[in-house]
């Protein structure tokens, strides 16, 4: 019963936050972005959690844990739903090639550097675990916030080629990171040298994809005929909750299965105009509850090693995103010159980055992933505080140059 009261309290907070705090502002600055992006609710959850007031203690979190799984699935579904082929085909193939090459370069560079750094600062940990942790950071670094460019769009008077490229990359780059998450979770359940790791991991990955696509088709059949908005919302929430719960039960990634579900359904249905208002109406309240629970799950234990890895990750990500852009533009024969300062638009990981970090923690509940979660959240929060200002300045400068 106490858990039910806590849940009602979370709903009340979500209502207040959606109505008064979690609104789109005309001016996006580092001071108000924690409110408009929802980061403030992570700190609220941290204060309500085991290390704070203890309201969201371990016992209560155990009862509310399905909501975390649902939040991950919902974040994945919303991200996947925007990847509609009819829309993304409007962009040049060079945009897609740039997205893939940029993500691959960031993943390889960050993973390679983190393998060496983690071995140096955590010498007592098993190499297999450190390797998985390095890969996890590499995938996290490929994820770009899909909402930041949209948030600062009203402040950019000249929508030039760089602006539309930044918006495209912000919308699709997370796909590669979440795909990597699905592969990582599927394969990393088994001993690294197991002779059947390729077969077993591949089988689990394929099953998770087919299951999600199958439910996307089922949902399409349920909504193919004229359906009321109330029925659509019930179907939508129920389906995402079911697929998220199934993924969590089988120790898969609800974020990945939710994304595949969103992609499959988005490319089958023809009622996007009817669904978008429903998604927007439910997105913010559910997101607030999700962030509060994430803050309660987080047990930050800051030390010099966490600070060193987080700082190195931020610096390395900035360098590897900025420096290769002109070279990649020449390789892909862009009709305009890619400027390095465009890379400042890609420092925010947003809600997808947070969901990714929590997905790693839930998939591998070991002490080392507590360290991973702290490093990841510190990195994301610091990046979110500066990314609105620096991205806006970058796009304004690029607009003046053209």
Query: 269 near 80, Cβ under 8 Å?
Result: no
What angle do the packed helices 304-322 and 127-142 form, to 10 degrees?
Answer: 50
Give CA–CA dist 358/377, Å, rounded: 9
Give CA–CA dist 337/342, Å, rounded: 11
- Structure confidence at residue 121 (pLDDT): 92
DSSP 250: T
Question: Going by C-beta distance under 8 Å and a sequence separation of 6 or more, which residues neighbour residue 245?
Answer: 66, 69, 70
Q: C-alpha dihedral over 370, 373, 375, 376, to 10 degrees?
A: 170
**SS3 (DSSP) at 56:** strand
- Digit-by-digit pLDDT tens for the chain (402 residues) are 555 556 566 666 665 666 655 555 544 555 566 666 677 888 888 887 777 777 777 777 667 777 888 889 989 998 998 888 887 788 888 899 999 999 999 999 999 999 999 999 999 888 888 988 999 999 999 999 888 888 888 888 888 888 889 989 988 999 999 999 998 888 776 554 455 677 777 888 888 899 899 888 888 887 777 677 777 777 888 888 888 888 887 778 899 999 999 999 888 888 777 777 777 777 777 788 788 888 888 888 788 899 999 999 999 999 999 999 999 989 988 888 889 999 998 988 888 999 999 999 888 888 888 899 999 999 998 888 888 888 888 888 887 666
Phi/psi for 147 (5° steps) reads: -110, -15
**SS3 (DSSP) at 49:** strand
CA distances from 167 to 95, 124, 146, 193, 381 (A): 11, 42, 8, 41, 21
Report the candidate in 11, 34, 9, 30 with the shortest Cα–Cα distance to residue 21.
Answer: 34
Of 1.10.10, 2.40.10, 1.20.1530, 3.10.20, which CATH number belongs to 32-401? 1.20.1530
- Structure confidence at residue 5 (pLDDT): 56
Q: Quick one: how far is CA 143 from the chain centroid?
A: 7
Give CA–CA dist 168/165, Å, rounded: 5
- List beta partners, residue 56: 49
- For the chain, how are helix, strand and coil distributed in percent, rounded to 5? 75, 0, 20
Reading the block at residue 316, the tokens are 């390395």
Query: 49 near 56, Cβ under 8 Å?
Result: yes
- Structure confidence at residue 193 (pLDDT): 45
Reading the block at residue 282, the tokens are 């439910």
Question: Going by C-beta distance under 8 Å and a sequence separation of 6 or more, which residues neighbour residue 252?
Answer: 182, 185, 186, 204, 208, 363
Question: Going by C-beta distance under 8 Å and a sequence separation of 6 or more, which residues neighbour residue 156?
Answer: 163, 392, 395, 396, 399
- Structure confidence at residue 27 (pLDDT): 47
Give CA–CA dist 143/174, Å, rounded: 4
Q: Quick one: how far is CA 304 from the chain centroid?
A: 26
Cα four-point dihedral sign 361, 364, 368, 372: negative
Task: Indicate the pTM of the whole model.
Answer: 0.90
Reading the block at residue 5, the tokens are 């009261």
Give CA–CA dist 80/62, Å, rounded: 28
DSSP 174: H
Q: What residues does each domain of the chain span?
A: 32-401
Give CA–CA dist 217/219, Å, rounded: 5
Give CA–CA dist 167/381, Å, rounded: 21
Give CA–CA dist 140/255, Å, rounded: 13
Half-sphere exposure of 71 (CA within 13 A, CB side): 25
């Amino acid at each position: 019963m106490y858990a039910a009261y806590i849940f009602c309290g979370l709903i009340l907070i979500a209502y207040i936050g959606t109505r008064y705090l979690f609104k789109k502002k005309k001016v996006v600055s580092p001071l108000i972005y924690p409110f408009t992006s929802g980061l403030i609710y992570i700190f609220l959850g941290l204060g309500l959690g085991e290390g704070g007031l203890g309201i969201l203690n371990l016992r209560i979190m155990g009862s509310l844990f399905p909501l975390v799984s649902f939040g991950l699935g919902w974040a994945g579904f919303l991200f996947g739903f925007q990847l509609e082929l009819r829309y993304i085909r409007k962009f040049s193939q060079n945009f897609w090639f740039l997205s893939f090459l940029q993500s691959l370069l960031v993943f390889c560079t960050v993973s390679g550097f983190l393998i060496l750094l983690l071995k140096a600062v955590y010498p007592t940990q098993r190499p297999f675990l450190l390797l998985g942790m390095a890969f996890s950071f590499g995938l996290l670094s490929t994820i770009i916030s899909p909402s930041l460019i949209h948030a600062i769009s009203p402040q950019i008077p000249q929508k030039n080629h760089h602006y539309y490229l930044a918006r495209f990359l912000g919308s699709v780059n997370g796909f590669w990171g979440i795909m990597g998450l699905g592969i990582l979770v599927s394969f990393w359940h088994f001993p690294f040298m197991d002779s059947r790791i390729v077969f077993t991991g591949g089988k689990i990955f394929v099953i998770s994809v087919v299951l999600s696509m199958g439910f996307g088709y089922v949902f399409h059949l349920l909504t193919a005929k004229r359906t009321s908005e109330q029925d659509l919302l019930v179907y939508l929430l129920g389906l995402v909750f079911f697929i998220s719960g199934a993924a969590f039960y089988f120790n898969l990634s609800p974020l990945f299965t939710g994304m595949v579900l969103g992609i499959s359904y988005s490319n089958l249905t023809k009622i996007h105009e009817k669904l978008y208002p429903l998604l927007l109406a439910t997105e913010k309240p559910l997101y607030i509850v999700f962030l509060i629970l994430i803050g309660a799950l987080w047990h930050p234990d800051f030390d010099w090693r966490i600070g060193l890895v987080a700082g190195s990750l931020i610096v390395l990500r900035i360098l590897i995103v900025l420096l290769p852009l002109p070279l990649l533009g020449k390789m892909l024969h862009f009709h305009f010159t890619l400027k390095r300062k465009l890379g400042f638009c890609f420092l925010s990981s947003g809600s997808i980055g947070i969901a990714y970090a929590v997905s790693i923690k839930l998939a591998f509940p070991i002490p080392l992933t507590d360290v991973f979660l702290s490093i990841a959240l510190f990195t994301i929060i610091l990046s979110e505080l500066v990314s609105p200002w620096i991205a806006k300045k970058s796009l304004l400068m690029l607009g003046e140059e053209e």
